[in-house]
């Protein structure tokens, strides 16, 4: 299968490239190079043909000849979405819908969208399947909901969108992020001895390793059309719904000498949700998730040790997407629309 992978140089995309190649697919990347400076460790994904462009600016010719688009590229989490709500909608919603419409126009049959369990938002303790009501509480979550709805309206006999509602990601990547819960907790524990809690630890959060996210997208791209056509899937393992304090306890057990420490203003987080992921197990039996939180914490701790991750790294801008983008804006390299003011140097 010939696949266009948007965001192929991002946190998940950098891991997706070799996994797609190993699965026998021909991969072409599309990325603006926003996170080129966010390298971690000494591993780089294999080089693939790529288009150096903001996905908002793709042309029909960029999409011709592909069997599927795997759409990862986006402003990638809630704090980034709060830079400017209009930017989140411009990129994650309007840009994504334009991309899907162009893909459909040129004959791409599969469109696999990296959605999010953030669509459920403030949901309490109930276990939510894909038919549950949406209740997003951030521009990021709202944009994901509206994008899913727009893609669903495009579905027909020739165009099959699929919505992968990923739980909160974690794991090691050549484009590391430390602004996601498990990665962050392990990083603080390793560099300071404190498993630092910004909330009171009561919110529920399903989590999923980035390799399992990619495996789910590959399974969707390869599945029979009737299994994935215009369908949403919660991407998680049944056991991987945790209260944040439970994740903190796992991290404290994995990182020697660390202790749980709550911020002075730690309080409840209105984003709390648990998900039922039985549908993906039934409809996409090729998807066999491999990871759990303890394995992930152990992987992260080993990687941080090997890379000599420091407290300065944790507090700096390289691995925090919001800080990184703000730094590029302050330096004038990115404009207010988050496009490059000058073409970035390809690396």
Give the residue, 34 or 82, on which the prediction is more confident. Answer: 34
The pLDDT of residue 292? 98
The answer as to whether 57 is a domain residue is yes
Burial 13-39 (b: 16+ CB within 10 A, else e): bbbbbbbbeebebebbbbbbbbbeebb
pLDDT (tens digit per residue) in 293-303: 999 999 999 99
Mean pLDDT, range 175-184, rounded to an integer: 96
pLDDT (tens digit per residue) in 120-140: 988 878 899 999 999 998 899
End-to-end CA distance of the chain: 26
Mean pLDDT, range 253-259, rounded to an integer: 97
The answer as to whether 162 is a domain residue is yes
Q: Which residues contact 106 (CB under 8 A, 6 or more apart)?
A: 60, 63, 64
The pLDDT of residue 347? 43
Burial class (CB in 10 A: 0-12, 13-18, 19+), 239: exposed
DSSP alpha helices (H): ranges in the chain?
13-22, 60-63, 78-81, 85-88, 96-105, 139-154, 181-192, 210-222, 225-228, 244-254, 278-283, 293-306, 311-315, 321-330
Mean pLDDT, range 295-314, rounded to an integer: 97
Is 90 exceeded by the pLDDT of residue 200?
no
Mean pLDDT, range 170-196, rounded to an integer: 96
Is 90 exceeded by the pLDDT of residue 268?
no
As a whole number of Å, the CA-based R_g of the chain is 19
The pLDDT of residue 266? 74
The pLDDT of residue 138? 87
Mean pLDDT, range 65-91, rounded to an integer: 84
pLDDT (tens digit per residue) in 206-233: 999 999 999 999 999 999 999 999 999 9
The pLDDT of residue 155? 98
Is 70 exceeded by the pLDDT of residue 81?
no
Residue with tokens 């983008």: 325
Tell me, what CATH number does 225's domain have?
3.40.50.720
The answer as to whether 303 is a domain residue is no
The answer as to whether 197 is a domain residue is no
Is 90 exceeded by the pLDDT of residue 2?
yes
- 166-171-177-180 Cα dihedral, nearest 10 degrees: 50
pLDDT (tens digit per residue) in 315-344: 999 999 999 999 999 999 999 999 999 865
The answer as to whether 316 is a domain residue is no
Q: Which residues contact 6 (CB under 8 A, 6 or more apart)?
A: 13, 29, 30, 31, 55, 69, 70, 71, 72, 73, 99
Mean pLDDT score of the chain, rounded to an integer? 93
Residue 20 main-chain phi, psi, to 5 deg? -65, -40
The pLDDT of residue 83? 66
Report the distance separating Cα 183 and Cα 179, nearest Å. Answer: 7
Report the distance separating Cα 29 and Cα 52, nearest Å. Answer: 8
The answer as to whether 311 is a domain residue is no
Q: Which residues contact 43 (CB under 8 A, 6 or more apart)?
A: 174
The answer as to whether 295 is a domain residue is no
If one counts the domains in the chain, the total is 1
Check: CB of residue 189 under 8 Å from CB of residue 229.
no
Is 60 exceeded by the pLDDT of residue 147?
yes
Q: Which residues contact 302 (CB under 8 A, 6 or more apart)?
A: none
pLDDT (tens digit per residue) in 30-76: 999 999 989 999 888 889 999 999 999 999 999 999 999 999 999 88
Q: In terms of Cα–Cα distance, which of 162, 166, 36, 157 is closest to 111? A: 162
Q: Which domain holds residue 60?
A: 2-170+208-239+272-290+323-330
């Amino acid at each position: 299968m010939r696949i266009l992978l948007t965001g192929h140089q991002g946190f998940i995309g950098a891991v997706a490239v070799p996994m797609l190649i190993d699965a026998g697919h021909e991969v072409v990347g599309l990325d603006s190079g926003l996170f080129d400076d966010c390298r971690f460790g000494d591993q780089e994904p294999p080089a693939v043909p790529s288009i150096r462009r903001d996905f908002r600016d793709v042309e029909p010719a960029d999409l011709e000849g592909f069997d599927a688009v795997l759409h990862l590229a986006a402003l990638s989490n809630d704090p980034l979405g709060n830079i400017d709500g209009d930017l989140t909608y411009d990129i994650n919603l309007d840009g994504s819908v334009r991309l899907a419409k162009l893909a459909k126009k040129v004959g791409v049959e599969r469109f696999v969208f990296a959605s999010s369990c953030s669509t459920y938002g403030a949901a309490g303790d109930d276990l939510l399947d894909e038919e549950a009501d949406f209740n997003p509480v951030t521009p990021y979550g709202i944009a994901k909901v509206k994008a899913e709805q727009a893609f669903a309206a495009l579905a027909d006999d020739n165009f099959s969108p699929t919505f992968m509602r990923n739980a909160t990601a974690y794991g090691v990547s050549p484009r590391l992020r430390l602004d996601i819960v498990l990665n962050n907790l392990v990083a603080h524990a390793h560099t300071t001895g404190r498993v630092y809690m910004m909330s009171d630890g009561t919110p529920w959060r399903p989590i999923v390793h980035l390799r399992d996210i990619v495996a789910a997208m590959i399974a969707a791209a390869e599945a029979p059309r009737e299994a994935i056509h215009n369908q949403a899937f919660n991407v998680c393992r049944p056991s991987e719904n945790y209260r944040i304090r439970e994740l903190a306890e796992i991290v404290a057990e994995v990182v020697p000498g660390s202790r749980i420490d709550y911020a002075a203003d730690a309080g409840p987080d209105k984003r709390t949700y648990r998900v039922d992921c039985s549908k993906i197990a039934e409809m996409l039996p090729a998807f066999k998730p491999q990871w759990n939180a303890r394995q992930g914490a152990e992987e992260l701790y080993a990687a941080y040790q090997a890379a000599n991750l420091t407290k300065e790294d944790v507090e700096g801008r390289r691995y925090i997407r919001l800080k990184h983008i703000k730094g590029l804006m302050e330096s004038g390299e990115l404009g207010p629309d988050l496009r490059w003011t000058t073409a970035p140097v390809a690396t």
